[in-house]
Structure 1
Amino acid sequence: MKKFITLFIFLSTLVLNAQTAEEPIKISTSVKKISDTEYDIIFDAKLYKGWYLYSQYNPDEASLPLVISIVEGETGYKLIGKADEKDTFKKYSEVWEKEEIVFKDKAIITQRIQLTNKEITQIKLNFFGQVCETACINIDEPFTLSLTKNEINISNSVDERSSALTKQLKLNLKNTSLLKNVANTKSENANGLFSIFFLGFIGGLLALLTPCVFPMIPLTVSFFTKQSQNKSKGIFNAILYGFFIVLIYILLSLPFHFLDNLDPEILNTISTNVWLNIFFFAVLVFFAFSFFGFYEITLPSSWGNKMDSASSIGGIIGIFFMALTLAIVSFSCTGPILGSLLAGSLTSDGGATQLTAGMSGFGLALALPFALFALFPNWLNSLPKSGGWLNTTKVVLGFLELALAFKFLSNADLVAHWGLLKREVFIGIWIIIFIGLALYLFAKIKFPHDSPIRKLSFARISFGVLVISFVIYITPGILKNPTWNLSLLSGFPPPQFYSIYEQETDCPLGLECYKDFEEGLVVAKQKNKPILLDFTGWACVNCRKMEENVWSVPNIYETLKNDYILISLYVDDNEKELPTNQQFDFLKPNGKVKRIKTVGDKWSTFQVINFKNASQPYYVLLSPNLEVLNTAQQYTDNETYYTWLQEGLRNFK
């Protein structure tokens, strides 16, 4: 059990969508004939600096070892033993507390095969391995090799025109060593994961205060503490029950990690897909009205009955099924919160890893009361009694779900350029939603399951006043010249330049910017100014936070306006197609072909090819002759960003 838990926690926290190279390993192959029936298949791998590939001889209970196998269904040949490896060395792992065998910089792996059918002219082998830096990515690639020609057969070919267009995306950058010293994202990733964990924990606490979960606390704790004459055993079972609750919610997030394995860009595609954002909007509205009490969302009752029956088995297995039963029967209250967590995580940079962190926090918040009240049963007497306040909590959550739903509709509107939810319209809708919430808290409107209210409680009045204060705070946002900017909401409403009022430019803060690299480069050469290359996205929350909270600082704003040529490339602009003569097939280093069809395709590929990075925001300082002027920068604070800009100017001069 200890080994399983250690492995599970490690695998569930791997950062699969790493913020470095899209392809941290490049593999080429060749075939060497040994005899009429034996051949050596040679895998020559080049690793991006700082990344490690784990050997097939890596020790048990450590990072995933390399595996070379025959593609399923293939016959006529077999592997002769394990592959021969060159240039491996040992590296101590603090995670596993043992030495691991790894490749660094390069790897030459030779696998001998033997033909059992001499008529075979090509073979198919699968290369599975794990490469890690501060994050880990699984490599799972099939290779088709000819025994008559020393080449890989690629099903999709790239014509000469496409090759020429691909080369146009590659810049002749100078001083590229600086790009390998990107500001340390390890701590930023950790902070991001902690934030989503905390939000998940808050969501779990809110779920505790719903009619589906709250009444279960004293019943379940009493069951564990009274079922056994041995008090310590009852406490142990209650704590184990809480552990299984956390485990179940973490397990729910694991399938999404396989999406990362299939394609490192897939979660970024999810976050910017117009129709998927509309789907999330519809789902959250559906959840909101279930919280209002118009209908109830439940899983099939047969599931709960089966899990309940299984829980009578007893022992550890029985306790696990008791925890699973709670997850199923409480779904009508926890489902909408989990749906928000799922949508929010998958449409952010952190993807599946953030989802796991959020689910961990959610499960921990649900599990804590069962463990704490088992340890201190007298605390049960201090719990408030169930009543109408539980339904009030559900309705309040319904209003919050409804407000969050419009964030996803806004994402779709921004990416598709429909112009329906401009910034002021979005804020206006939020004003209406939160006025509705205030009216509900002051008992001016009611919902189906509300109990009669004779007197408003102090807590209800206080929360109502807080909601009214929030409405007052956001109201100036609908004006052309707001009294104050909504810095606390940066990233949620559409950008300030996406407005119903006429703006000086369609760039952040009214700055002059260029949305095509070649166009901006020409201007930089004419004015002899350095370039701030801004990889951004319409649906990028952190990009909006940087623009509204960092770029708006006077000294930074003046520097951007007067000293730099701003080129903003929107990597999620996937609704705007390139002209037909500019569309092409891009051949990736691993042999896969990506169709470059939209503006977003072009700039996201441009970022990966030249800067080995696929995250946003991502800032690079360049001179007009394409010399890198400073380390690349990502989401950061005002002081760091200003110092970074000034250092770039000094290097340019």
Structure 2
Amino acid sequence: MKKITFVLALIVTTLLVQAQIVNPTKWSFDSRQNGDEVDLIFEATIDDGWHLYDTDLPEGGPIATTFVFEDSTLFDFVGNIQKDPVPEIHFDETFQMNVGYFGGKATLTQKIKLKSSDPVEIKGYVLFMSCNDETCTPPEESEFSFKFNQDAKAAGTTEVKSTENETGTAASSGGQSLWLFILISALAGFAAILTPCVFPMIPMTVSFFMRGSENRAKAVRTGLFFGLSIVAIFTLLGALFSIGIFGPNVGNILSTHWIPNLLFFTLFLVFAISFFGAFEMVLPNSLVNKTDSQADKGGLVGAFFMALTTVIVSFSCTGPFIGALIIEAVQHGGMRPLIGMFFFGLAFGTPFAMLAIFPSALSKLPKSGGWLNSIKVVFAFILLAFGLKFLSNIDQVYGFGILSREIYLSIWIVVFFLLGMYFIGKIKFSHDSDLPYVGVGRLFLSIATFTFVVYLFTGLFGAPLRTISALIPPASEQSFVMGGAASASHATAQQAECGPAKYGDKLHLPNGLSGYFDYEQGLACAKEQGKPALVVFKGHACANCKKMENSVWLNPDVMKMMSEKYVVIGLYTDDRTKLEESEWVTSKEDGKVLKTLGKKNLDIQISKYGTNSIPFHVIVEPDGTEYELGVTFKEEEFKSFLEKGLE
């Protein structure tokens, strides 16, 4: 009992702590003015166990702490940056060099001399990077603003502005998508209850808890513990993926390798066939009987094993929900598997617990019947459609070119058309009850389904299908893209001067854009044309990449800037193209020899920018100045990012 309670408390604590965004270094700004001479004071407060890199680091090392001023013509620098304390020198195993860094607190002071006695505002940002013994945060920016020579009341004061830097925007977008993921997880938990192998268990489960119901306090305690046990069991499953027990690269493997993708497609297909009524999927009776016998002990121990029995027996129907959630969560990394399974278990276990506490409410539930089988068949159609995504991942990552966007959409059109026919009773399976008439609910579901079919049909003629862009293959170079054809042809003409793109016979950019797929070749072309380069770290199996490309990128102003003002470099971090032996590189991170294009691109992203999250965008100006932006689904935000590189 104590062990179970401790584990549950540990899981909840981990959930609350790990879901937060790491921000180990905080900045504050101050100044001292003496006539036209000013001390700009930058103070960093660094969390225990973390360190901030020095302002002077050897070439090829990590990102140094840098102060970037908007307009340095307003003043002259006087001397070098004064550092308190002096940075500690340590040997960095990752970069194989001695580097200096600060821990705890650091005060960096830059003396300047103002060129005028007129009111002046000095603005800019601190570019910095924080690390501990295990990980690093991506490069961050913290803005500052100093005002001098104001009126007597404001003279010598400092205005410190809070800011949402480039890396922060990615985090905020990630936070929004996290809430959507939590909602989907909870809805999946509720939906799983309405399956034929779960819903009929409710009366049986409640009858178990009605024994001893004359002791109300004990019944409530036992029912609550039963519900919490269900949550704990599902959450423990998610925790195994969150804590990295299957390795740090499990997300990338699940997303891109052909073996797990083929396995998931097969599982979804088998579950779909089972839900259609071809056969029943059940776990071994010995496993069920063993846990069920433990449940007969009663008390809290019995409640826990009753919860375990409920989870095991229901797996033949909850399996697809759990599998889809974990796959989605692991691909995004972090604590998402734990968070997703926590809310799935919470939604799944709450009705059981409430009915165990208030058994009289059981009489108000609808009786089991043909409607449960109908729900199962509907899930079968959905599993059949969504299982196709795993085949698409294999096709895109390995460049087979078999499952094109048009073929994929055609299959979906047929599947959902048949689902619509099922709703109106034109298709019937072996376990279905007779349907003498079409009810109002079925009618509206059929209308929604046929409307979705028409929506999919427009995708065959070039519609971007933005709402489902993350689930379908991108448009090929031969596909007609509404609103993008003209700008794409212009891009092809302007970039032809740099020669054909390396790997261009296999890789392409979406929406008809032309660009490059090799980091060095793309930067060389940008330098030749005197244009900024837009480096996009992306993936064939990256849902957020597809969503951005089929929504944000299709903004006319965005498309025009990308095609006319930038040299676009698309670096696929999951591509399996084999490199020639002369192009093999040794990773700066782990010393391994990288032999595929995807691994080489991922190493560039991690070593230069300290992150492996995709999509990740970097503007590289001709003078070497760089700006970074993570994932965002706000068109104006991405447009402003591109405009910043053109100023």
Q: Is there any run of 5+ residues in structure 2 with no aligned partner, and where? A: 25-43, 52-86, 89-100, 105-128, 144-163, 493-507
Q: Retained in 2: the 8 A contact 1:20–1:614? A: no
The separation in 2 between residues aligned to 1:525 and 1:50, in whole angstroms, is 38
Aligned partner of 1:586 in structure 2 is 587
TM-score normalised per structure 2: 0.72
1:248 corresponds to:
233
1:571 and 2:573 correspond: yes
Determine if contact 1:474/1:486 at 8 Å carries over to the other structure.
Answer: yes
Partner residue, 1:224: 209
Q: CA deviation at 1:52?
A: 4.8
Q: Counterpart in 2 of 1:8? A: 11
Report 1 or 2 for greater relative contact order, CA contacts < 8 Å, sequence distance ≥ 6: 1
> Residue 185 and residue 476 in structure 1: after superposition, are their counterparts in 2 closer, same or farther (change >3 A)?
closer
CA contact (8 A) 1:13 1:356 kept: no
Secondary structure at 1:620 match in 2: strand
> What are the superposed Cα offsets for residues 359-385 of structure 1, whole Å, 9 maximum, x if unpaired?
122211211112333455443332111
Provide the C-alpha distance between the structure 2 equivalents of 1:385 and 1:13, rounded to a whole number of angstroms: 39
CA distance in 2 between counterparts of 1:512 and 1:498 reads 9
The aligned counterpart of 2:429 is: 447
Task: Report 1:351-362 matches (<5 A).
Answer: 353-362=335-344
Which amino acid is the alignment partner of residue 224 of structure 1?
F
Change (3 A) 1:218 1:136: farther
Partners in 1 of 2:350 and 2:536 — Cα distance? 44
1:466–1:135 distance in 2 versus 1, CA, 3 Å: farther
* In structure 2, C-alpha distance between the alignment counterparts of 1:181 and 1:543, rounded to whole Å: 17
Residue type of the alignment partner of 1:292:
F
Indicate whether 1:269 and 2:269 are aligned: no
Say yes or no: does 1:404 pair with 2:380.
no
In structure 2, do the counterparts of structure 1 residues 20 and 495 end up closer, same or farther at CA, with 3 Å as the change threshold? farther
| 8 Å Cα contact 2:534/2:568 also seen in 1 | yes
For the residue of structure 2 that corresponds to 1:227, the secondary structure is: coil
Q: For residues 54 and 534 of structure 1, do their structure 2 counterparts lie closer, same or farther at Cα, with a shift above 3 Å needed?
A: closer
SS of the equivalent of 2:569 reads strand
CA contact (8 A) 2:614 2:630 kept: no
Partner of 1:77 in structure 2?
none
- Structure 1: unaligned runs, 5 residues or longer: 22-47, 56-85, 88-103, 108-132, 140-173
Q: Deviations over 1:496-533 (max 9, x none)?
A: 23656798673222122111122111221122111111
The whole-number CA distance in structure 1 between the counterparts of 2:344 and 2:140 is 46
Is the 1:268–1:349 contact (alpha carbons within 8 Å) kept by the matching residues of 2?
no
Contact 2:230–2:307 (8 Å) recurs in 1: yes
Per the alignment, in what secondary structure is the counterpart of residue 550 of structure 1? coil
The within-5 A match list for 1:358-373 is 358-373=340-355
SS of the equivalent of 2:522 reads helix
Matches within 5 A, 1:10-409: 10-12=13-15, 52-53=48-49, 105=102, 182-258=167-243, 260=244, 263-346=247-330, 348-350=331-333, 353-409=335-391
Q: Alpha-carbon deviation of 1:222? A: 4.1
Contact 2:533/2:620 (<8 A) preserved: yes
Matched, 1:560 2:562: yes
Asked if the contact 1:225–1:235 (Cα under 8 Å) also holds between the matched residues in 2, the reply is no
Deviations 1:627-649 (A, max 9, x none): 21x34333341111112221222
Aligned length: 508
From 625, 628, 639, give the equivalent of 1:642. 639
Query: Partners in 1 of 2:258 and 2:17 — Cα distance?
Result: 28
Q: Distance in 1 between matches of 2:514 and 2:312?
A: 53
Residues 234-267 of structure 1 show CA distances to partners (whole Å, capped at 9, x for unaligned) of: 1222122111111111111222234x36753342
**1:414 and 2:396 matched:** yes
> Aligned in 2, Cα 1:538/1:497: closer, same or farther, shift over 3 Å?
same
Q: Is the 8 A contact 1:438 1:467 kept in 2?
A: yes
8 Å Cα contact 2:525-2:567 kept in structure 1: yes
| Superposed displacement of residue 54, structure 1 | 8.6
Q: Aligned-pair distance for 1:105?
A: 4.8
**Which of 601, 621, 624 is the aligned partner of 2:622?**
624
Query: Partners in 2 of 1:381 and 1:525 — Cα distance?
Result: 74
Matched residue of 1:567: which SS? Answer: strand
* 1:573-608 CA distance string (max 9 Å, x none): 12x1111111244353xxx43230000011000111
The answer as to whether partners of 1:14 and 1:135 remain within 8 angstroms in 2 is no
Which of 617, 633, 639 matches 2:630? Answer: 633
Distance (whole Å) between structure 2 residues aligned to residue 20 and residue 538 of structure 1: 30
Distance in 1, matches of 2:385 and 2:194, equals: 20
Distance 1:311 1:461 in 2: 43
User: Within 2, Cα distance between the matches of 1:384 and 1:466?
Assistant: 25
Matches of 1:328 and 1:568, distance apart in 2: 45
Residues in 2 aligned to 1:353 and 1:565: alpha-carbon distance in whole angstroms: 36
Aligned mate of 2:467, from 476, 480, 488: 488
Match of 1:431 in 2: 413
State the SS of the aligned residue for 1:649. coil
- 2:468 is matched by which residue type in structure 1? L
Write the letter of the residue equivalent to 2:475.
Answer: Q
1:50 to 1:264, Cα distance in 2 relative to 1, 3 A = farther
